[in-house]
Amino acid sequence: MVEKMPNTGRAAVFPAPNAPFSIQEFPLREPRSDEVLVRVSMATICRSDLHSYQGLRPTPCPGILGHEIIGRIVALGSEIPCDLRGDPLEPGDRVTWTEYFYSGNCYHRDVLDMPQKCPGVQKYGHESALQEPHLLGGFADYCYIQPGTGILRLPEELSDEEATPLNCGVATMVAVTETAHITLGSTVVVQGLGLLGLYGAAMAKARGARLVIGIDPVAPRRNLAGQFGVDVVLDPRAAPHRLEDRIMSLCRPDGADAVIEVTGIPEVIPVGLGLLRTGGRYILAGVVNPGAMITIDANQILRRCLTLSGVHNYHPRHLLQALDFVVANRERFPFRNLVDGKYPLERIQDAFEDAAERRVLRAAIVPF
Ligand SMILES: [Zn+2]
């Protein structure tokens, strides 16, 4: 469906932390030769959108939040003939794209192969709405995809609910499970069963894990976890030694091969390190805000030959893998059910409240 471009598009403007959103109109223009204009199909509220809204992470104001986005191409510049895979792009195509963009030479990209960590990298949903082209966030009718973004065409069989979290939560968990070296027969503990934890569990199974243990204090999440490859669910409010004894008895003889932190709670880190076997890997992916101070016995890391790794953002290849993983496993795991609340743009305030109160697992804004 190719459509005509109107003169303006709406966006939910984030004026200041904890202040009500206001719906405002912004001018629309033809995309430049290195841009793509998309009409937003769906944008989901990620935990980092909530952190921005609550003032826990610095975000320019006024801004347009939302970086887990998909949309249909309205018009595209002549310099963007195809997507990351080399498939041609045309108006009407439904696409996802990397949550970040950076153009120009960069040591981190060109030498370290870490484009996601280029100094000055910009992120959708984290830019000022005052500067042209204004529309760089998902909670809006339209978005301008910028130069230096990896774009990927979406197969039509994938629902919007399955496709929208790909470019943040799902691609990040591809990077996490890769860093965790999960392989045939691995035992994996996932601390936190939100959207990231559930995708991580499903990927661990797809990578060949023999046992996935999930830990979360929220009962509805524990109840859902079995559908996403979690074999054993545990409540962290149980006595610490009982939790540890149970996991050690399941991961004989020495503990888990990998532990993944997707809670955002620093206090779980020493607990998780204690669950690893000698030579095991601990991956941090949830403690994304500064000030996550903990006390750990570094001697235990040394003596037990543990690896502690952080994962933040992802390489463009992880977005391709995320898409291919979901396409290949969408019958095995009910990913479509994870986006469990849909709201029109005018109801974004309700959506943020429901997400903050964990009344929904992933709230989605559907502007049209
Ligand atoms: Zn996110």
Q: Cα separations (Å) of 210 from 5, 80, 339? A: 51, 43, 27
46 CA to centre of ligand 1 in angstroms: 5
Q: What share of residues in the chain are helix, strand, coil (percent, to 5)? A: 30, 25, 45
96 CA to centre of ligand 1 in angstroms: 14
27 CA to centre of ligand 1 in angstroms: 26
CA nearest to 183, candidates 233, 261, 257, 247: 257
Angstrom distance (rounded) from CA 286 to CA 263: 5
The CA-based angle 99-101-105, given to 5 degrees, is: 150
7 CA to centre of ligand 1 in angstroms: 30
Kindly state the percentage of the chain with pLDDT values over 70: 99
Confirm if 320 and 85 have CB atoms less than 8 A apart.
yes
Please report the sign of the dihedral spanned by the C-alpha atoms of residue 137, residue 138, residue 140, residue 146: positive
Angstrom distance (rounded) from CA 368 to CA 287: 34
Angstrom distance (rounded) from CA 197 to CA 25: 37
pLDDT at 4 over 80: no
Per-residue pLDDT reduced to its tens digit, 194-237: 999 999 999 999 999 999 999 999 999 999 999 999 999 999 99
Per-residue pLDDT reduced to its tens digit, 169-191: 999 999 999 999 999 999 999 99
57 CA to centre of ligand 1 in angstroms: 13
Q: Which of the four pLDDT bands, split at 50, 70 and 90, describes residue 156?
A: very high
pLDDT at 2 over 80: no
Contacts of 4 (CB under 8 A, 6+ apart): none
pLDDT at 80 over 60: yes
pLDDT at 1 over 60: no
The CA-based angle 268-270-271, given to 5 degrees, is: 60
245 CA to centre of ligand 1 in angstroms: 34
Confirm if 3 and 13 have CB atoms less than 8 A apart.
no
242 CA to centre of ligand 1 in angstroms: 33
Confirm if 47 and 287 have CB atoms less than 8 A apart.
no
Angstrom distance (rounded) from CA 138 to CA 41: 9
305 CA to centre of ligand 1 in angstroms: 32
Q: Which residue has the tokens 């320019």?
A: 60
Tokens of 216: 């979360």
45 CA to centre of ligand 1 in angstroms: 8
- List phi, psi (to 5°) of 94: -95, 130
Tokens of 333: 């795991």
176 CA to centre of ligand 1 in angstroms: 14
172 CA to centre of ligand 1 in angstroms: 9
Whole-model pTM: value is 0.96
Q: Where are the alpha helices (DSSP H) in the chain?
A: 47-53, 107-110, 160-163, 169-179, 195-206, 219-225, 240-250, 268-273, 298-303, 316-329, 348-356
Confirm if 136 and 127 have CB atoms less than 8 A apart.
yes
